[in-house]
A = this chain, B = another copy of it.
Amino acid sequence: MTTAPTRKPRSSRSGRATMADVAAAAGVSAMTVSRALRRPDSVSAEVRARVEEASRRLGFVPSRVASALASARTMTVAVLIPSLTNAVFIDLLAGVQETLSPHGYQPLIGVTGYGPEAEERVLRAQLAHDPDGVILTGLDHTPGTWDLLRSLTVPVVHTMDLTTEGGLGDGGHGDGGVRTVGFSQFDAGYAIGAHLAERGRRRIGLIAGQLDPRTRQRCDGWRQALRDAGRHDPDRELLVPDATSVALGAELLERALAAHPDTDALFLCNDDLAQGALFQCARLGIPVPERLAVAGFNDLAGAAWTVPPLTTVATPRRAIGVEAARLLIAGMEDRAQSRPEPRCVDLGFRLMVRETT
Protein backbone atom coordinates (compact mmCIF):
# COMPACT_ATOMS: atom_id res chain seq x y z
CA MET A 1 0.00 0.00 0.00
CA THR A 2 2.42 2.65 -1.11
CA THR A 3 -0.12 4.39 -3.29
CA ALA A 4 -1.13 7.89 -2.49
CA PRO A 5 -3.93 8.05 0.05
CA THR A 6 -6.88 8.74 -2.25
CA ARG A 7 -9.36 9.45 0.44
CA LYS A 8 -12.84 9.66 -1.01
CA PRO A 9 -13.89 13.30 -0.93
CA ARG A 10 -16.52 13.98 1.66
CA SER A 11 -18.34 16.36 -0.59
CA SER A 12 -21.71 15.40 -1.92
CA ARG A 13 -20.85 17.11 -5.15
CA SER A 14 -17.70 15.36 -6.15
CA GLY A 15 -15.85 17.49 -8.59
CA ARG A 16 -18.57 20.05 -8.89
CA ALA A 17 -17.93 23.69 -8.23
CA THR A 18 -19.13 25.29 -5.03
CA MET A 19 -20.12 28.83 -4.39
CA ALA A 20 -16.69 29.49 -2.93
CA ASP A 21 -15.09 28.37 -6.18
CA VAL A 22 -17.25 30.74 -8.16
CA ALA A 23 -16.53 33.49 -5.68
CA ALA A 24 -12.78 33.01 -6.05
CA ALA A 25 -13.05 32.93 -9.83
CA ALA A 26 -15.10 36.10 -9.87
CA GLY A 27 -13.00 37.85 -7.26
CA VAL A 28 -15.85 38.41 -4.84
CA SER A 29 -17.11 36.83 -1.66
CA ALA A 30 -19.34 33.78 -1.58
CA MET A 31 -22.14 35.88 -0.20
CA THR A 32 -22.05 38.10 -3.23
CA VAL A 33 -22.29 35.09 -5.50
CA SER A 34 -25.34 33.94 -3.63
CA ARG A 35 -26.95 37.33 -4.01
CA ALA A 36 -25.98 37.78 -7.63
CA LEU A 37 -27.54 34.47 -8.55
CA ARG A 38 -30.75 34.74 -6.58
CA ARG A 39 -31.56 38.41 -6.85
CA PRO A 40 -29.52 39.78 -9.72
CA ASP A 41 -30.51 43.37 -9.11
CA SER A 42 -29.21 43.34 -5.59
CA VAL A 43 -25.65 43.63 -6.86
CA SER A 44 -23.91 46.00 -9.22
CA ALA A 45 -24.09 45.26 -12.93
CA GLU A 46 -20.39 44.69 -13.16
CA VAL A 47 -20.19 42.24 -10.31
CA ARG A 48 -23.24 40.46 -11.62
CA ALA A 49 -21.60 39.96 -15.00
CA ARG A 50 -18.40 38.62 -13.47
CA VAL A 51 -20.30 36.22 -11.24
CA GLU A 52 -22.50 34.99 -14.05
CA GLU A 53 -19.53 34.40 -16.26
CA ALA A 54 -17.59 32.51 -13.62
CA SER A 55 -20.66 30.53 -12.66
CA ARG A 56 -21.31 29.49 -16.23
CA ARG A 57 -17.68 28.69 -16.88
CA LEU A 58 -17.42 26.43 -13.87
CA GLY A 59 -20.79 24.82 -14.54
CA PHE A 60 -21.92 25.84 -11.12
CA VAL A 61 -25.17 24.35 -9.84
CA PRO A 62 -26.13 25.62 -6.40
CA SER A 63 -26.68 22.85 -3.88
CA ARG A 64 -30.27 22.72 -2.81
CA VAL A 65 -29.43 20.64 0.20
CA ALA A 66 -27.00 23.17 1.56
CA SER A 67 -29.45 25.88 0.66
CA ALA A 68 -32.20 24.01 2.43
CA LEU A 69 -30.20 23.59 5.59
CA ALA A 70 -29.22 27.22 5.69
CA SER A 71 -32.52 28.76 4.68
CA ALA A 72 -34.99 26.29 6.14
CA ARG A 73 -36.70 25.87 2.79
CA THR A 74 -36.28 22.63 0.90
CA MET A 75 -38.38 23.60 -2.13
CA THR A 76 -40.06 20.23 -1.97
CA VAL A 77 -43.70 19.31 -1.45
CA ALA A 78 -44.89 15.96 -0.16
CA VAL A 79 -47.70 14.55 -2.31
CA LEU A 80 -49.46 11.50 -0.93
CA ILE A 81 -51.73 9.51 -3.21
CA PRO A 82 -53.27 6.07 -2.81
CA SER A 83 -51.98 4.56 -6.00
CA LEU A 84 -49.96 5.08 -9.12
CA THR A 85 -52.09 2.74 -11.21
CA ASN A 86 -55.36 4.61 -10.88
CA ALA A 87 -55.66 7.28 -13.56
CA VAL A 88 -57.57 9.51 -11.18
CA PHE A 89 -54.56 10.13 -8.97
CA ILE A 90 -52.19 10.38 -11.87
CA ASP A 91 -54.25 13.27 -13.17
CA LEU A 92 -54.22 14.83 -9.71
CA LEU A 93 -50.46 14.41 -9.58
CA ALA A 94 -50.03 15.86 -13.05
CA GLY A 95 -51.95 18.95 -12.00
CA VAL A 96 -49.82 19.32 -8.91
CA GLN A 97 -46.58 18.76 -10.77
CA GLU A 98 -47.30 21.20 -13.58
CA THR A 99 -48.24 23.87 -11.07
CA LEU A 100 -45.37 23.40 -8.64
CA SER A 101 -42.67 22.97 -11.22
CA PRO A 102 -42.60 26.51 -12.64
CA HIS A 103 -42.16 27.79 -9.11
CA GLY A 104 -39.15 25.59 -8.55
CA TYR A 105 -40.82 23.14 -6.20
CA GLN A 106 -40.14 19.42 -6.42
CA PRO A 107 -43.02 17.08 -5.66
CA LEU A 108 -42.05 14.13 -3.46
CA ILE A 109 -44.47 11.39 -4.33
CA GLY A 110 -45.64 9.00 -1.68
CA VAL A 111 -47.84 6.02 -2.43
CA THR A 112 -50.10 4.86 0.37
CA GLY A 113 -51.88 1.91 -1.20
CA TYR A 114 -55.24 3.18 0.13
CA GLY A 115 -54.25 2.39 3.71
CA PRO A 116 -54.39 5.02 6.45
CA GLU A 117 -51.66 3.23 8.40
CA ALA A 118 -49.41 3.05 5.37
CA GLU A 119 -50.23 6.70 4.76
CA GLU A 120 -48.97 7.59 8.21
CA ARG A 121 -45.73 5.71 7.60
CA VAL A 122 -45.23 7.34 4.22
CA LEU A 123 -45.98 10.78 5.63
CA ARG A 124 -43.47 10.24 8.40
CA ALA A 125 -40.86 9.26 5.84
CA GLN A 126 -41.66 12.30 3.71
CA LEU A 127 -41.48 14.63 6.67
CA ALA A 128 -37.87 13.59 7.19
CA HIS A 129 -37.22 15.52 3.99
CA ASP A 130 -38.72 18.65 5.55
CA PRO A 131 -41.14 19.47 2.74
CA ASP A 132 -42.35 23.05 2.51
CA GLY A 133 -45.91 21.81 2.07
CA VAL A 134 -48.03 18.68 2.09
CA ILE A 135 -50.82 17.47 -0.19
CA LEU A 136 -52.89 14.49 0.88
CA THR A 137 -55.69 12.49 -0.70
CA GLY A 138 -58.93 12.29 1.20
CA LEU A 139 -59.66 12.98 4.81
CA ASP A 140 -59.60 9.53 6.35
CA HIS A 141 -56.32 9.68 8.20
CA THR A 142 -55.16 7.92 11.34
CA PRO A 143 -55.07 9.90 14.59
CA GLY A 144 -51.29 9.69 14.32
CA THR A 145 -51.43 11.33 10.90
CA TRP A 146 -53.65 14.10 12.23
CA ASP A 147 -51.19 14.63 15.06
CA LEU A 148 -48.31 14.88 12.64
CA LEU A 149 -50.19 17.30 10.44
CA ARG A 150 -51.14 19.46 13.36
CA SER A 151 -47.55 19.68 14.47
CA LEU A 152 -46.44 21.04 11.12
CA THR A 153 -45.73 24.68 10.49
CA VAL A 154 -46.03 24.31 6.71
CA PRO A 155 -49.29 24.46 4.74
CA VAL A 156 -51.29 21.28 4.25
CA VAL A 157 -54.06 20.62 1.72
CA HIS A 158 -56.41 17.64 1.58
CA THR A 159 -57.83 16.76 -1.83
CA MET A 160 -60.60 14.91 -3.64
CA ASP A 161 -63.13 15.54 -0.92
CA LEU A 162 -64.83 18.33 0.99
CA THR A 163 -64.50 18.94 4.67
CA THR A 164 -68.16 19.56 5.16
CA GLU A 165 -69.48 16.12 4.43
CA GLY A 166 -69.58 13.02 6.56
CA GLY A 167 -67.63 14.44 9.44
CA LEU A 168 -64.73 12.26 8.42
CA GLY A 169 -62.37 15.12 8.45
CA ASP A 170 -62.22 16.18 12.01
CA GLY A 171 -61.07 12.93 13.54
CA GLY A 172 -62.29 14.34 16.81
CA HIS A 173 -60.05 17.36 16.62
CA GLY A 174 -62.44 19.83 15.11
CA ASP A 175 -62.28 20.98 11.51
CA GLY A 176 -60.65 24.24 12.44
CA GLY A 177 -57.60 24.16 10.27
CA VAL A 178 -58.43 21.60 7.62
CA ARG A 179 -58.01 22.94 4.11
CA THR A 180 -59.56 20.95 1.27
CA VAL A 181 -59.87 21.08 -2.50
CA GLY A 182 -62.29 18.70 -4.15
CA PHE A 183 -65.92 18.08 -4.87
CA SER A 184 -68.80 16.36 -3.19
CA GLN A 185 -68.52 12.66 -3.90
CA PHE A 186 -71.92 12.22 -2.32
CA ASP A 187 -73.60 14.77 -4.56
CA ALA A 188 -71.93 13.29 -7.63
CA GLY A 189 -73.21 9.84 -6.73
CA TYR A 190 -76.62 11.34 -6.07
CA ALA A 191 -76.62 12.99 -9.48
CA ILE A 192 -75.99 9.77 -11.32
CA GLY A 193 -78.60 7.92 -9.30
CA ALA A 194 -81.15 10.63 -9.91
CA HIS A 195 -80.32 10.61 -13.60
CA LEU A 196 -80.97 6.88 -13.91
CA ALA A 197 -84.24 7.24 -12.06
CA GLU A 198 -85.32 10.14 -14.23
CA ARG A 199 -84.62 8.06 -17.28
CA GLY A 200 -87.43 5.83 -16.07
CA ARG A 201 -85.25 2.96 -14.95
CA ARG A 202 -86.74 0.92 -12.15
CA ARG A 203 -84.43 -2.01 -11.43
CA ILE A 204 -81.20 -0.20 -10.89
CA GLY A 205 -78.03 -1.94 -9.74
CA LEU A 206 -74.71 -0.79 -8.37
CA ILE A 207 -71.27 -2.22 -9.03
CA ALA A 208 -68.33 -0.92 -7.05
CA GLY A 209 -64.74 -1.90 -6.43
CA GLN A 210 -61.86 -0.32 -4.53
CA LEU A 211 -64.04 0.57 -1.58
CA ASP A 212 -62.18 3.59 -0.32
CA PRO A 213 -64.06 6.34 1.53
CA ARG A 214 -64.64 8.34 -1.62
CA THR A 215 -66.15 5.39 -3.43
CA ARG A 216 -68.39 4.77 -0.44
CA GLN A 217 -69.56 8.36 -0.44
CA ARG A 218 -70.46 8.09 -4.11
CA CYS A 219 -72.41 4.95 -3.36
CA ASP A 220 -74.13 6.66 -0.45
CA GLY A 221 -75.21 9.46 -2.75
CA TRP A 222 -76.48 7.06 -5.37
CA ARG A 223 -78.37 5.13 -2.71
CA GLN A 224 -80.00 8.27 -1.38
CA ALA A 225 -81.11 9.27 -4.85
CA LEU A 226 -82.74 5.90 -5.41
CA ARG A 227 -84.40 6.04 -2.03
CA ASP A 228 -85.74 9.48 -2.82
CA ALA A 229 -87.13 7.99 -6.01
CA GLY A 230 -88.51 5.00 -4.13
CA ARG A 231 -86.40 2.57 -6.15
CA HIS A 232 -83.60 1.44 -3.92
CA ASP A 233 -83.04 -2.30 -3.73
CA PRO A 234 -80.07 -3.26 -1.53
CA ASP A 235 -79.97 -6.67 -3.19
CA ARG A 236 -78.83 -5.08 -6.37
CA GLU A 237 -75.61 -3.74 -4.89
CA LEU A 238 -72.49 -5.64 -5.80
CA LEU A 239 -69.54 -4.34 -3.81
CA VAL A 240 -66.09 -5.91 -4.00
CA PRO A 241 -62.81 -4.76 -2.46
CA ASP A 242 -60.68 -5.39 -5.56
CA ALA A 243 -59.02 -2.63 -7.52
CA THR A 244 -61.17 -1.53 -10.42
CA SER A 245 -60.25 -2.52 -13.97
CA VAL A 246 -61.79 -3.21 -17.33
CA ALA A 247 -61.47 -6.93 -16.69
CA LEU A 248 -63.23 -6.65 -13.35
CA GLY A 249 -66.03 -4.66 -14.93
CA ALA A 250 -66.66 -7.39 -17.47
CA GLU A 251 -66.69 -10.03 -14.77
CA LEU A 252 -68.93 -8.15 -12.37
CA LEU A 253 -71.42 -7.34 -15.09
CA GLU A 254 -71.97 -11.03 -15.57
CA ARG A 255 -72.29 -11.67 -11.87
CA ALA A 256 -74.75 -8.83 -11.46
CA LEU A 257 -76.94 -10.02 -14.32
CA ALA A 258 -76.77 -13.60 -13.14
CA ALA A 259 -78.10 -12.52 -9.77
CA HIS A 260 -80.69 -10.15 -11.23
CA PRO A 261 -81.38 -10.79 -14.90
CA ASP A 262 -84.08 -8.13 -14.96
CA THR A 263 -81.72 -5.28 -14.11
CA ASP A 264 -82.44 -2.34 -16.40
CA ALA A 265 -79.74 0.10 -15.26
CA LEU A 266 -76.34 -0.12 -13.67
CA PHE A 267 -74.09 2.44 -12.03
CA LEU A 268 -70.44 1.43 -11.96
CA CYS A 269 -68.30 3.42 -9.57
CA ASN A 270 -65.46 3.98 -12.03
CA ASP A 271 -65.25 4.26 -15.81
CA ASP A 272 -62.87 1.35 -16.23
CA LEU A 273 -65.49 -0.92 -14.70
CA ALA A 274 -68.11 0.65 -16.93
CA GLN A 275 -66.03 0.13 -20.05
CA GLY A 276 -65.51 -3.51 -19.13
CA ALA A 277 -69.24 -3.87 -18.60
CA LEU A 278 -69.93 -2.27 -21.96
CA PHE A 279 -67.56 -4.67 -23.69
CA GLN A 280 -69.22 -7.58 -22.00
CA CYS A 281 -72.65 -6.35 -23.03
CA ALA A 282 -71.49 -6.24 -26.62
CA ARG A 283 -70.20 -9.76 -26.27
CA LEU A 284 -73.40 -11.05 -24.72
CA GLY A 285 -75.58 -9.21 -27.20
CA ILE A 286 -77.22 -7.06 -24.55
CA PRO A 287 -78.44 -3.86 -26.18
CA VAL A 288 -77.27 -0.71 -24.40
CA PRO A 289 -79.14 1.40 -23.46
CA GLU A 290 -82.32 -0.30 -24.71
CA ARG A 291 -82.27 -3.24 -22.35
CA LEU A 292 -79.63 -2.00 -19.94
CA ALA A 293 -78.52 1.52 -19.15
CA VAL A 294 -74.90 1.88 -18.02
CA ALA A 295 -73.34 4.78 -16.16
CA GLY A 296 -69.75 5.22 -15.09
CA PHE A 297 -67.79 7.69 -13.02
CA ASN A 298 -64.83 10.03 -13.58
CA ASP A 299 -65.03 10.51 -17.33
CA LEU A 300 -61.71 8.80 -17.91
CA ALA A 301 -59.97 8.91 -21.27
CA GLY A 302 -62.02 7.30 -23.98
CA ALA A 303 -65.35 7.44 -22.17
CA ALA A 304 -66.74 9.65 -24.91
CA TRP A 305 -65.71 7.12 -27.56
CA THR A 306 -67.02 3.84 -26.30
CA VAL A 307 -69.83 2.18 -28.20
CA PRO A 308 -72.19 3.66 -27.34
CA PRO A 309 -70.56 6.69 -25.70
CA LEU A 310 -70.60 6.36 -21.93
CA THR A 311 -72.74 8.44 -19.62
CA THR A 312 -70.58 9.36 -16.65
CA VAL A 313 -69.62 12.08 -14.19
CA ALA A 314 -66.69 14.27 -15.15
CA THR A 315 -64.52 14.98 -12.13
CA PRO A 316 -62.01 17.86 -12.02
CA ARG A 317 -59.02 15.79 -10.96
CA ARG A 318 -56.33 17.79 -12.64
CA ALA A 319 -57.91 21.06 -11.60
CA ILE A 320 -57.93 19.83 -8.03
CA GLY A 321 -54.21 19.19 -8.27
CA VAL A 322 -53.63 22.61 -9.76
CA GLU A 323 -55.70 24.38 -7.13
CA ALA A 324 -54.18 22.43 -4.25
CA ALA A 325 -50.72 23.35 -5.47
CA ARG A 326 -51.77 26.96 -5.88
CA LEU A 327 -53.02 27.17 -2.34
CA LEU A 328 -49.82 25.61 -1.11
CA ILE A 329 -47.68 28.02 -3.07
CA ALA A 330 -49.62 30.94 -1.70
CA GLY A 331 -49.00 29.71 1.80
CA MET A 332 -45.35 28.96 1.17
CA GLU A 333 -44.30 32.12 -0.64
CA ASP A 334 -46.21 34.54 1.37
CA ARG A 335 -45.02 33.72 4.85
CA ALA A 336 -46.95 36.63 6.31
CA GLN A 337 -50.24 35.03 5.22
CA SER A 338 -51.38 38.40 3.98
CA ARG A 339 -54.27 37.45 1.72
CA PRO A 340 -56.48 34.89 3.35
CA GLU A 341 -56.92 31.86 1.11
CA PRO A 342 -60.18 29.93 1.17
CA ARG A 343 -60.33 27.03 3.58
CA CYS A 344 -62.34 24.77 1.36
CA VAL A 345 -62.59 24.83 -2.42
CA ASP A 346 -65.43 22.99 -4.15
CA LEU A 347 -64.54 22.45 -7.79
CA GLY A 348 -67.76 20.62 -8.57
CA PHE A 349 -68.44 17.91 -11.13
CA ARG A 350 -70.41 17.55 -14.34
CA LEU A 351 -72.89 14.90 -15.29
CA MET A 352 -72.00 13.86 -18.84
CA VAL A 353 -75.14 12.42 -20.35
CA ARG A 354 -74.18 10.42 -23.39
CA GLU A 355 -75.79 7.43 -25.01
CA THR A 356 -75.53 4.55 -22.58
CA THR A 357 -78.44 5.80 -20.49
Give A residues with C-beta under 8 Å from B. Answer: 8, 10-16, 59, 61-66, 68-69, 71-74, 84-85, 87, 90-91, 93-94, 97-98, 101, 104, 106-109, 111, 124-130, 151, 153, 245-247, 250, 272, 275-276, 279-280, 282-283, 301-302, 304-307, 335
A15 and B153 contact, CB distance less than 8 A: yes
How far is the CB of A128 from the nearest CB of chain B, in Å? 5
Q: Using Cβ atoms and an 8 Å threshold, which residues of chain B touch A276?
A: 302, 305
Shortest Cβ distance from A247 into B: residue: B305
Contact B69 A65 (CB under 8 A): yes
* The one of B69, B246, B302 that contacts A66, using a Cβ cutoff of 8 Å: B69
A300 to chain B, nearest CB (A): 10
With A59-B151, A61-B127 given, can you name 13 additional A-B contacts, CB distance below 8 Å? Answer: A8-B335, A13-B130, A15-B151, A64-B128, A64-B129, A65-B74, A101-B111, A106-B126, A106-B129, A246-B301, A272-B301, A276-B302, A279-B306
> Quick check: A153 and B14 within 8 Å, CB to CB?
yes
Nearest Cβ in chain B — how far from A313, in angstroms?
A: 18
CB-defined A-B contacts under 8 Å, sample of 29 = A8-B335, A11-B72, A12-B71, A12-B73, A13-B72, A13-B130, A14-B72, A15-B153, A16-B151, A61-B127, A63-B128, A64-B129, A65-B65, A65-B68, A65-B69, A65-B74, A84-B94, A84-B97, A90-B90, A98-B111, A104-B125, A245-B302, A246-B302, A246-B305, A250-B305, A275-B305, A279-B305, A282-B282, A283-B307
Known: A12-B72, A84-B94, A302-B246. A130 touches B279 (CB 8 A): no
The distance from the CB of A288 to the nearest CB of chain B, in whole angstroms, is: 12
Given contacts A276-B302, A302-B276, contact A85 B94 (CB under 8 A): yes
A304 touches which one: B59, B125, B247 (CB < 8 A)? Answer: B247
Q: What is the bound-complex CA distance between A111 and B102, given in angstroms? A: 12
Q: How far is the CA of A63 from the CA of B109 in the complex (A)?
A: 18
| Inter-chain contact B73/A302, CB cutoff 8 Å | no
Query: In this complex, which of A16, A64, A94 has the most chain B Cβ atoms within 10 angstroms of its Cβ?
Result: A64
Residue of B nearest to A251 (CB): B305
- Chain B's closest residue to A111 (CB) is B97
A341 to chain B, nearest CB (A): 20
A108 to B77, CA, bound (A): 11
- Chain B residues whose C-beta falls within 8 Å of the C-beta of A307 in the assembled complex: 279, 282-283
Do A68 and B12 form a contact, CB below 8 Å, given A85-B94, A101-B111, A151-B59?
yes
Contacts of A108 in B (CB 8 A): 106, 108
Task: Compute how far the CA of A71 lies from the CA of B84 in the bound complex, rounded to whole angstroms.
Answer: 31
When distances are taken between beta carbons in the complex, the residues of chain B under 8 Å from A93 are 84
Closest 5 A/B residue pairs (Cβ): A12-B72, A246-B302, A84-B94, A14-B153, A282-B307
Residues of chain B within 8 A of A63, CB atoms compared: 128, 130
| Chain B hits for A61, CB < 8 A | 124, 127-128
Chain B residues contacting A91 (CB-CB under 8 Å) are 85
Residues of B within 8 A of A65 (CB): 65, 68-69, 74, 129-130
When A108-B108, A109-B109 are in contact, do A64 and B272 touch as well, CB less than 8 Å?
Answer: no
**Which residues in B have their C-beta under 8 angstroms from that of A128?**
61-64
Are A275 and B302 within 8 A (Cβ)?
Answer: yes
